[in-house]
């Protein structure tokens, strides 16, 4: 199923306005194994949040409450639609486990930090920013509102 046909099916089955747009279409992380694992956590309900670099978004285009996004598998097959419920911008070094535990990925703050240092360093190389310990992180709580 194409992204556009999936989106049209979502709009029709949820009774939303046909002009409704999605913010982004993406898969989690930068490798297939992790993307697959994180998608499974989302679909199971364990992963209810995600963290992104503020620098990964053009000015004014960061997620905000009410935004809809399509989450795909590694090969871009649409799997679900998430709705942003809340957004916080937090310096990386000020992240707490109480907050990041909502991502459902880690058992402690130290493993979250290690994994996200790796991700933000690699992501920054790909799209043109540099990870720093005080880098602003967009922490987004979301809810799955549609799935295949």
Instruction: Report the C-alpha gap between 58 and 56 in whole angstroms.
Output: 7
The whole-number pLDDT of residue 106 equals: 93
| pLDDT, mean of residues 36-50 | 97
Instruction: Report the C-alpha gap between 140 and 49 in whole angstroms.
Output: 5
Q: How confident is the model at residue 148 (pLDDT cuts 50, 70, 90)?
A: confident
Specify the CATH number for the domain of residue 135: 3.10.400.10
Number of domains in the chain: 1
Could you report the per-residue pLDDT of 13-36, keeping only the tens digit for each? Answer: 999 999 999 999 999 999 999 999
Percent of the chain, pLDDT > 90?
A: 97
Instruction: Report the C-alpha gap between 138 and 51 in whole angstroms.
Output: 6
List the structure tokens of 117.
């240092």
| pLDDT, mean of residues 51-55 | 96
| pLDDT, mean of residues 6-15 | 97
- Write down the residue that tokens 């409450």 correspond to: 65
Phi, psi of 36 (to 5 degrees): -65, -45
35-40 CB contacts, 8 Å cutoff, 24+ apart: 35/73, 35/74, 36/73, 36/74, 38/105, 39/71, 39/73, 39/79
Could you report the per-residue pLDDT of 96-114, keeping only the tens digit for each? Answer: 999 999 999 999 999 999 9
Residue length, the chain? 148
Residue 24 structural domain: 3-147
């Amino acid at each position: 199923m194409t992204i556009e046909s999936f989106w049209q099916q979502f709009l029709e089955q949820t009774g939303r306005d046909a002009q409704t747009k999605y913010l982004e279409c993406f898969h989690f992380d930068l490798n297939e194994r992790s993307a697959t694992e994180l998608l499974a956590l989302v679909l199971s309900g364990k992963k209810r949040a995600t963290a992104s670099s503020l620098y990964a978004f053009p000015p004014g285009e960061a997620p905000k409450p009410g935004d809809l996004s399509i989450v795909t598998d590694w090969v871009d097959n649409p799997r679900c639609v998430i709705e942003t419920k809340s957004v916080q911008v937090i310096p990386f070094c000020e992240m707490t486990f109480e907050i990041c535990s909502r991502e459902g990925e880690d058992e402690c703050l130290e493993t979250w930090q290690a994994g996200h240092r790796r991700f933000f360093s690699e992501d920054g190389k790909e799209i043109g920013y540099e990870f720093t310990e005080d880098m602003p992180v967009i922490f987004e709580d979301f809810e799955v509102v549609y799935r295949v």
